[in-house]
Amino acid sequence: MAQYLRLRQVCLVAADLARETARIKSALGLEACYRDVNVAKYGLENVLFPVGSSFIEIVSPTRAGTAAGRFLERHAGRYGYMLIMDCDDPERRQAQAEAQGVRVANVIRHGDYLGVQLHPKDTGAAMLEFNRTAGGDDAMGPYAPAGPDWQSAIRKDVTRALIAVEIESPDPGRLAEHWGRILDRPVAKKSDNRSRIALDYGAIDFLPGAGPEAVFAGVELEAAASGARVLSLCGVRFRLSAAGS
């Protein structure tokens, strides 16, 4: 697959990792696949859950003065922290973002993995990451952030797939156009002042928000059962509905 860009992972922040891990398992029927010791150098601990071929990650500060800890304090435990997309060309996307004046916050390299994180002050709403894992063209193949055996942890009894994320903004149309330029994807206008950027897997929806700044407010999931539910986990709104409902 050439030039793919997939919504692969959402990253949330919690003050109490054990508590939120238990809530995710119970509410969404998911199983943890990996805890990455490499995040310790950032003063964090984490856990990842596969949702089909995508992931929910929770990070939690282990010391004072971390970026994630400052995010928690500033937002009082609300909203999502990062949107992570895998692609075949993070270097090109990094260069394109920098040409638009969007700063790079961090570059992660280990083994056959490359991740480029963009500064949230320049993206607005959330940090964005582009990454690539060798052999990752296949969405069920290797994905370094999730560990060597993430596929064995997939559970679909309750939650089957990560469909989209919701970004709320005082000016959702303008933010959508900004992200469209960063992601190099067209913006589709929807009703009620909403916009959507479709990716090769997943989508990003931009909604009017009541607050003074743009925030990563929601996650849409495909559920196994019929009907619809809305849950609040890790300060984010989770909408669950069956396919086609």
Do residues 186 and 180 make contact, with C-beta atoms less than 8 angstroms apart? yes
Whether 129 shows a pLDDT value over 70: the answer reads: yes
The enclosing domain of 232 has a CATH number of: 2.60.40.4320
Residues 115 and 41 in one domain: yes
The angle that helices 90-99 and 172-183 make with each other, rounded to 10 degrees, is 130
Do residues 122 and 101 make contact, with C-beta atoms less than 8 angstroms apart? yes
With bands split at pLDDT 50, 70 and 90, how would you rate the model's confidence at 2?
low
Residues 31 and 73 in one domain: yes
Residues 188 and 229 in one domain: yes
Average pLDDT, the chain: 94
Name 205's bridge partners: 166, 196
Whole-angstrom distance, CA of residue 147 vs CA of residue 169: 34
Residues 75 and 122 in one domain: yes
Mean pLDDT of 77-83: 94
**Do the domain assignments include residue 148?**
no
Contacts of 203 (CB under 8 A, 6+ apart): 7, 163, 164, 165, 196, 197
**Do the domain assignments include residue 152?**
no
**Do the domain assignments include residue 56?**
yes
Residues 84 and 196 in one domain: no
Residues 15 and 82 in one domain: yes
Residues 50 and 111 in one domain: yes
Residues 175 and 134 in one domain: no
Q: What is the model's pLDDT at position 115? A: 95
**Do the domain assignments include residue 30?**
yes
At 192-226, the pLDDT tens digits run 789 999 999 999 999 999 889 999 999 999 999 98
Structural domain for 48, as ranges: 5-138
Whether 1 shows a pLDDT value over 50: the answer reads: no
Whether 46 shows a pLDDT value over 90: the answer reads: yes
Residues 32 and 79 in one domain: yes
Q: Which of 138, 170, 199 is the last residue of a domain?
A: 138
Q: Which of 138, 171, 202 is the last residue of a domain?
A: 138
At 166-192, the pLDDT tens digits run 999 999 999 999 999 999 999 999 877
**Do the domain assignments include residue 145?**
no
The enclosing domain of 88 has a CATH number of: 3.10.180.10
Residues 70 and 191 in one domain: no
Residues 132 and 174 in one domain: no
Mean pLDDT of 46-54: 97
At 111-125, the pLDDT tens digits run 889 999 999 999 999
Whole-angstrom distance, CA of residue 91 vs CA of residue 71: 27
Q: Which of 86, 107, 138 is the last residue of a domain?
A: 138
Q: Which of 202, 203, 233 is nearest to 217 (CA)?
A: 233
Q: Which of 55, 60, 19, 9 is nearest to 233 (CA)?
A: 19
Mean pLDDT of 238-242: 95
Residues 98 and 17 in one domain: yes
Task: Identify how many contiguous H helices and E strands the chain contains and give both numbers.
Answer: 5, 14
At 130-159, the pLDDT tens digits run 999 999 999 999 999 999 999 999 999 999
Q: What is the model's pLDDT at position 110? A: 86
**Do the domain assignments include residue 105?**
yes
Q: What is the model's pLDDT at position 193? A: 84
**Do the domain assignments include residue 46?**
yes
Q: How many domains does the chain have?
A: 2
**Do the domain assignments include residue 151?**
no
